[in-house]
Amino acid sequence: MRMVKENRIFIILFAVFTALFSLFPLTGDDLGWATSDGMTLLKNGFEGYNGRYLGNLCAIFFTRHDFLRPVVKSASIIFILYMLQKFTGKNEQFILLSSAVLLVPYSPFIQSIVWSSGFFNYTFSLCFILPCFYILFRKSDLRFIPVIVILGFCGQLFMETYTLLTLAVALGVLIIRIYKSKNIAIPFTYFISCVSGAIMMFSNSVYRQVLGGEDKYQSKADVITAFKNMFLLVPRYVLYACIPAALIIIVLLILNRKRNFIMIDKPKLSVYILLILGLSLPFCIVGPIGTRCFVGVNLILLLAIEMLTGNLDIKRLSKVLLIIVLCLNFIIYGVLALSNQNKIEAISQAVSRGEKQIELEHTKLYIFAHGMDDEAKNQKFLNRFCEYFGFPKDIKINFK
């Protein structure tokens, strides 16, 4: 009972998040993973596709299990919040405010949580990386070595920029520990695990195609373009991907001019800046880029907000903000889920009447689900949609 009481906030949030996430439809590439396209990639070992082996496997598995998917998504978000709290200390207002920021219904939330293909690469991977960072920086007990071996290796097989960042962090910590003549068992083990996972990821032939400029999806910028991206494209995406967190930081800095309540930990701030640069700068060179790429940056900004609000009691305000965000999401995704179901029924009725050209209104609030209504976009998405829902593939769907 004591454990339940101490973790009551996480239990409540898990239940609420699971209910909300159960409203999210499968869209766009999700239907590819859930149909024969996903199985074809699996049979080929994802060769020539990407080296996100665990992310791809998770996408294939969880897009086929409607009950498990929202549960795993919810548990993952809760675990990420829990790990962030381990870095900051027990602080309920931090959990409430962080939840509100992460669940604001706009592009980053849509691409990295609502969209399952994005979630299982860009967000779920953090459940492997954050525990490793906590052990790396906070623990010296050798009993953690098996944990860091498994999580360290697995964490490399989701997203390329996370792979590069964890390699850099592991190497940096190892060098510092060697220089200071401290115990290197854990950092050395983590570094070897990261290297092993990175070798497995980048052994996929697609990265040789990217370097050669032969891949149609992923791209490599030349020196001039990379320089432009550093000052124009990437900062714009980072700011857009982090609007709620950035606004909170701006408000706090403005208020601090009158009340002087902020105590800045300069070493922590330096680490946060380095991590943000490490997560952002690779996109100056490689693409494609989207707001889903900056989930990690959002988490670092949340840690910065916790540092800035350490002397403030904003628990009630945080709770109010979270309730507003959750209510808004339940309305949006409740309407979207109902509208999507009506769309499926309308197509089913048209098919039963023998219609081949089907014209519909767009799914209500379709912009709140990445790739929603893509079945009208091209034949590839239409084939996936028809296979998943059992419609004949010779129909055409258009939206007014």
**What is the per-residue pLDDT across 125-153, written as a single tens digit (0 to 9) for each?**
999 999 999 999 888 888 999 999 999 99
What angle is formed at CA 281 by the lines to CA 276 and CA 286, rounded to 5 degrees? 135
Please choose, from the candidates 182, 106, 210, 191, the residue with its C-alpha nearest in 3D space to the C-alpha of residue 145.
191
The answer to which of 55-59, 206-210, 356-360 has the lowest mean pLDDT is 206-210
Please choose, from the candidates 173, 168, 199, 200, the residue with its C-alpha nearest in 3D space to the C-alpha of residue 186.
173
- pLDDT the model gives residue 281: 86
> How many other β-carbons are positioned within 10 Å of the β-carbon of residue 343?
22
Which pLDDT band, with edges at 50, 70 and 90, does 1 fall under? low
Structure token pair of residue 20: 């909300």
The answer to which of 24-33, 42-51, 180-189, 240-249 has the lowest mean pLDDT is 180-189
Q: For residue 54, is pLDDT > 80?
A: yes
Q: For residue 326, is it left (φ>0), alpha (ψ between -120 and 50) or beta?
A: alpha
Q: How would you classify the pairing of strands 357-360 and 396-399? A: parallel
Q: How would you classify the pairing of strands 286-287 and 219-220? A: antiparallel
Q: What is the mean pLDDT of residues 175-191?
A: 91
Q: For residue 182, is pLDDT > 70?
A: yes
pLDDT in tens, 380-392: 999 999 999 999 9
Helix axes 92-102, 68-88, angle to 10 degrees: 130
- pLDDT the model gives residue 120: 95
Output the pTM of the full model.
Answer: 0.94
Kindly state the percentage of the chain with pLDDT values over 90: 75
Q: For residue 326, is pLDDT > 70?
A: yes
Q: What is the mean pLDDT of residues 170-174?
A: 93
Cα 111 to Cα 45: distance, rounded to the nearest angstrom:
25
- pLDDT the model gives residue 232: 86
- pLDDT the model gives residue 118: 95
Kindly state the percentage of the chain with pLDDT values over 70: 98
pLDDT in tens, 266-292: 888 999 999 999 999 888 888 788 899
Handedness of CA 52, 150, 270, 297 (dihedral sign): positive
Structure token pair of residue 324: 């507003």
More confident residue, 130 or 212: 130
Helix axes 126-138, 145-154, angle to 10 degrees: 140
